[in-house]
Structure 1
Amino acid sequence: MKTLNVIGPGRLGQSLARLAVDSGQYQIGGVLARSEQSAAKALAFIGAGQVCLQLADLPPADLWLLAVPDSSIAAVAVELAAAQVVKTGDVVFHASGALEANILAPLQAQGALIASLHPAFSFADPARAVLTFFGTPCAIEGNAAACKLLNQFAQAIGGVPFALAEGGKGAYHAALSMAANYLVTLADLSLKTAHQAGIAPEMANSLVLGLMQQTLHNIQALGPAVALTGPIVRGDAGTVQRHLEVVGENQQAPYRVMGLATLSLAGDRVSPEQARQLKTALTQAEHALCTSGN
């Protein structure tokens, strides 16, 4: 049975540690937190491990999880290397979605196998996370030997591991941010435009969010290109122009940018002449905004 040390038992750290214990394939060694009280609270949830208040106090382990904020990972890696408690061949990994394994380079220099494992999951509540984690995609990158062991770890806790290309972490995180964050912003812009049409808030929510959910189902079943509908894929530049004339000022720039991206996605479903008219309508809106700003 392999041993896991946890540095930073916040919501993610607690959740992964508890899942590791529940798998029956890992035991928890040390749990290091900012205070003895927070470490003890984490241990009560995890159900195993020992409280550690200094990096030098951490016991030997096969895997070391740095579940600290992204802004602290580099500094903790340096401090952990200085503590000289990680042995050659130990796997040290972080769970950042944006940072690559090489941020742990000081530990690699000491013989550690470094990697990152990022579960595409929201750990808002550890108790709920443990119950609903099964099937979560887990992005893994770093040292090949470390990745092999983290694949086993991810599978043991109920995740579905997949590999990222070398240097692909930035694109991976950008993809997630666009899918999650920008979808929320798009919903907000659509709802505001619906309100501009005089639609009551409750009906606007039903109308816009219901259509978004239906579209997501279509994308999953058919793929983005086939799921695409609307005036742009129909080559209807007149409707696009009318949209730009009526949407609010804050909605015009996003509409234009998304319209050009949609035109690209439509591909040869739009004739060259239709594509020219659509591009003209969308870029003229940009010119008009720039002129009015001057």
Structure 2
Amino acid sequence: MLTLNLIGAGRLGKSIAQMAQQSGRYRLAAIYSRSLASSTAAGMWIGAGEVVAQLGDLPSADLWLISVPDGAIAGVAAELAELKLVKQGAVAFHASGALAADQLAPLAAQGAYCASWHPAFSFADPTRAVQTFVGTLCALEGDAKAVAILSEFTAAIGGCAFALSSEAGAKVAYHAALSMAANFLVTLSDLSLKTAEQAGIAPEIAQQLVLGLIRQTLNNIDSLGAAAALTGPIVRGDAATVAQHLAVLPPATQAVYRALGVATVALAGERLSHPATINQLLRAKD
């Protein structure tokens, strides 16, 4: 059975540690956090792992999960390297969505296999996270040996691992893709709801209209692909309707409509017979 040390006792870290412990393939050896109270609470919640008060008190382990804020990862790696805690051949990995394995360079220099490992999952509620994690896609990037070992780790806790490109900027591009999908969809939904209310639609009805259409659209993207799922006035080349939309939107919302409209014209491609007309309208300065 492989051993795991957890550094950082937040929601993600303690959720992953508990799933690893429950898998029967891994034993949580120890937990360290800057806050001893957080470490103690995590240990009680997980039901395993020795709680240590100092980083230097962590025992040897096969896997080291560094689950701390992005800005602290490099510092923790440097401190671990200075203390020579991570032995040659051990796997050290962090769970940042945007940062790559190079944050752990001091440990790699000492012979550890280093990687970044990011589950595309929200850990807002650890109890629910443990219950619903199965099937979650987890992005891996870094040393080939670490990627192989962490692919097995991912499968053991119910996730599905996939490898990112080793090209510079690939990890950031991955995180930007997730941010656009998760964050901008929320923003766009809010703008749609406000525009529906501008039409005099009651908020509860607006919610049903907008969210219902979003669900239908996501289903269409899933079954048809993004380009084929496009509907509406832009893909139809209906410049008159687009102009009417722009005329009633407040400036901030209109700016979003124009920017996304131009991207929609590009996505529509050959389905749009006269893209120049729509593009000119969308790019026009009032």
Give the TM-score band, short-chain normalised.
over 0.9
Distance 2:195 2:255 in 1: 13
User: SS state of the match for residue 5, structure 1?
Assistant: strand
* 2:61 equivalent in structure 1: 61
| 1:112-131 paired onto structure 2 within 5 Å | 112-131=112-131
Distance 1:35 1:142 in 2: 29
- Residues 19 and 157 in structure 1, CA contact (< 8 A), matched pair in contact too: yes
* 1:207 equivalent in structure 2: 209
Match of 1:197 among 190, 199, 203: 199
Match of 2:269 among 267, 280, 283: 267
CA offsets 1:126-155 (integer angstroms, 9 cap, x no match): 111100000000000000000000000000
* 1:19 equivalent in structure 2: 19
Distance 1:36 1:258 in 2: 47
| 1:1-294 paired onto structure 2 within 5 Å | 1-166=1-166, 167=168, 168-271=170-273, 274-284=274-284, 287-288=285-286
**Percent identity over the alignment?**
60
Distance 2:37 2:104 in 1: 28
Letter in 2 for 1:50: E
| More moved, 36-45 vs 24-33 | 36-45
| More moved, 234-243 vs 138-147 | 234-243
Distance 1:18 1:203 in 2: 42
Distance 2:253 2:37 in 1: 48
- Residues 107 and 114 in structure 1, CA contact (< 8 A), matched pair in contact too: yes
Distance 2:254 2:94 in 1: 40
Distance 2:129 2:53 in 1: 26
CA offsets 1:190-230 (integer angstroms, 9 cap, x no match): 11111111111111111111111111111111111111100
| More moved, 42-51 vs 144-153 | 42-51
Letter in 2 for 1:140: L
Distance 1:69 1:270 in 2: 45
TM-score, normalised on structure 2?
0.98
Q: How far is the alpha carbon of 1:47 from its aligned partner?
A: 1.5
Distance 2:122 2:55 in 1: 27
User: SS state of the match for residue 59, structure 1?
Assistant: coil
CA offsets 1:28-85 (integer angstroms, 9 cap, x no match): 1110012333212111111111011212111010000000011111111111111111
Letter in 2 for 1:67: S
Distance 2:83 2:29 in 1: 17
CA offsets 1:3-38 (integer angstroms, 9 cap, x no match): 000000110010000000110000011100123332
Distance 1:50 1:60 in 2: 12
User: SS state of the match for residue 116, structure 1?
Assistant: strand
- Provide the alpha-carbon RMSD of the alignment: 0.8
Gap regions ≥5 residues in structure 2: none
Distance 2:36 2:214 in 1: 46
Count of equivalent residues? 284
- Residues 193 and 248 in structure 1, CA contact (< 8 A), matched pair in contact too: no
Distance 1:31 1:90 in 2: 17
Gap regions ≥5 residues in structure 1: 289-294
